[in-house]
Amino acid sequence: MDIESRLALVRGVAEEIITDPELRTLLEQNAHPTAYDGFEPSGLAHLPFGLYRPLLLNDLLKAGVRFTLLLADWHGWINNKMGGDLDAIRRVGDYFLEVWSAAGVDLDKVKAVWASDLVDSSDYWKRVVTVAKHTTVQRATRCLSIMGRKEGELLESAQYFYPAMQVADIFELGVDICQLGLDQRRANILSREIADKLKWKKPVLVHHHMLAGLQGQVELDQAQTYDEQRDRDVKIASKMSKSKPASAIFVHDSPEQIRKKLHEAFCETKNVGNNPVLDYCKEIIFRAQKEFKIERDRKFGGDLFFYSYEDLEEAFLKGLHPLDLKNATAAALDHLIAPVRTHFEKNKKAKDLLQFVRGQDVTR
């Protein structure tokens, strides 16, 4: 595959690249650069994790990127996920791997790494302390948003280990690309600054879009954000989150649940700037399939077929009814979720893992 095709695939994954010239140079010099994303094992898999991440990952693999999936069990422990029970967090990590496999991720083509294996090394902790010594307390505090928390929500001093560990992970894994969500931007930017200071390999940042929650855009007051990145903070606050079930569609939801959730989703007529339903069409449906069908009664104009998101958005601006869009989106998402849902219904190992996760008290 030529450079332009590889670049197009990686750019198609990204909402932000830091920097595009560095990405081009990397791909020109390396046929198989390495990238990673990290996940705290916590709770049931939702659309961003169970559908969106596999779609993005498969495009990166096509571009020749070699990918590491970091199962951040220690990070989840620090962040008090699953009640702070490390053994439970590890079990949820096994469930995560089962979800990815069921969603079509070839686990033979990616490398799964547990944070608990990294922390066994004294060299790792030396790297963590080195990062921390080059990070001010104020900067570390601002980076705590990568945990999905604000300064006022801090309960334990251990949580200050988190940003230094996440930055150290990047260098410990030796990756060329940080390919995480936009909500992890602060830690990734810090990693580039640390790399400059210490002459370590500077990663290229490829931040993907944050899928919107069903509720649509969340408004923030000035106390909840910083002016220079207000738009990003709004996107992060508005994202679909498994720790906020009312905002999320899960890969285990039934067709009826998916339809009900989409019917209740925010989808204002002719509003394309704040529309989670259109967001799922753009980021998931048109990535996964070439055609999007909207079934309508003949008296309302009959069925519609769309072959690009741009055409769908134009039709919505011209008056496509929100309910027609919601019904079609529910059907398309159910079709994509069905293989994952079926796997967890029929495979005993998967079923046992799902039962375990459902039986846990999911803590934010």
> By C-alpha distance, which of 36, 323, 18 is closest to 172?
36
Is the pLDDT reported for residue 362 higher than 90? no
pLDDT at 292: 97
Tell me the backbone φ, ψ of residue 217, rounded to 5 degrees.
Answer: -70, 135
Residue 216 and residue 195: Cα distance in Å, rounded? 37
What is the pLDDT averaged over residues 270-286?
Answer: 96
Whole-number pLDDT of residue 308: 97
Q: Is the peptide bond before 135 cis (omega within 30 degrees of 0)?
A: no
| Mean pLDDT calculated for residue range 56-79 | 94
pLDDT tens per residue across span 320-343: 999 999 999 999 999 999 999 999
**Is pLDDT of 184 > 90?**
yes
CB atoms within 10 A of CB 278: 21
For 248, residues 6+ apart whose C-beta sits below 8 A from its C-beta are 46, 47, 213, 214, 240, 241, 242
Q: Stretch 77-89: mean pLDDT, rounded?
A: 90
Whether residue 60 contacts residue 13, with contact meaning beta carbons closer than 8 Å, is answered with yes
| Mean pLDDT, rounded, for 256-276 | 95
Tokens (6 digits) for 332: 């398309």
- On whether the 244-358 domain is CATH 1.10.240.10, my answer is yes
Residue 264 has pLDDT above 60, yes or no: yes
pLDDT digits (tens, 9 = 90+) for 35-65: 999 999 988 999 999 999 999 999 999 999 9
Distance CA 248, CA 41 (A): 17
User: What are the residues facing 39 on neighbouring strands?
Assistant: 71
For residue 308, the 8-state DSSP code is S
pLDDT at 7 over 70: yes
**Cα-based torsion angle of the residue sequence 101, 102, 104, 107 in order, rounded to the nearest 10 degrees:** 10
End-to-end CA distance of the chain: 43
**Sign of CA pseudo-dihedral 305, 330, 97, 37:** positive
**In the chain, where does the domain assigned CATH 3.40.50.620 lie?**
3-207
pLDDT at 83: 85
Distance separating alpha carbons of residues 42 and 363, to the nearest angstrom: 8
Q: Which helix (H) or strand (E) holds 243?
A: none
Share of the chain above pLDDT 90, in %: 76
CA atoms within 13 Å, Cβ hemisphere of 29: 8
Name the average pLDDT for the chain: 91
* pLDDT greater at residue 94 or residue 217: 94
Mark out the alpha helices in the chain (DSSP H runs): 3-13, 20-29, 47, 53-62, 73-78, 86-102, 115-118, 122-133, 137-143, 161-173, 185-198, 230-237, 255-264, 276-280, 286-288, 309-317, 322-346, 348-358
The pLDDT tens digits for 211-250 are 999 998 887 665 445 555 667 777 778 888 877 888 899 9
Q: pTM for this structure?
A: 0.90
Reference 116, options 78, 72, 159; nearest CA is: 72
The answer, yes or no, to whether residue 265 has pLDDT greater than 60, is: yes
Q: Where in the chain is the domain with CATH 1.10.240.10?
A: 244-358
Please tell me the class of the 3-207 domain: alpha beta
Residue 86: pLDDT band by 50, 70, 90 thresholds? very high
Give the model's confidence band at 299: pLDDT under 50 very low, under 70 low, under 90 confident, else very high. Answer: confident
- Token duo for residue 104: 């079509």
**pLDDT tens string 106-163:** 888 999 999 999 999 999 999 999 999 999 988 888 888 766 655 566 667 888 899 9
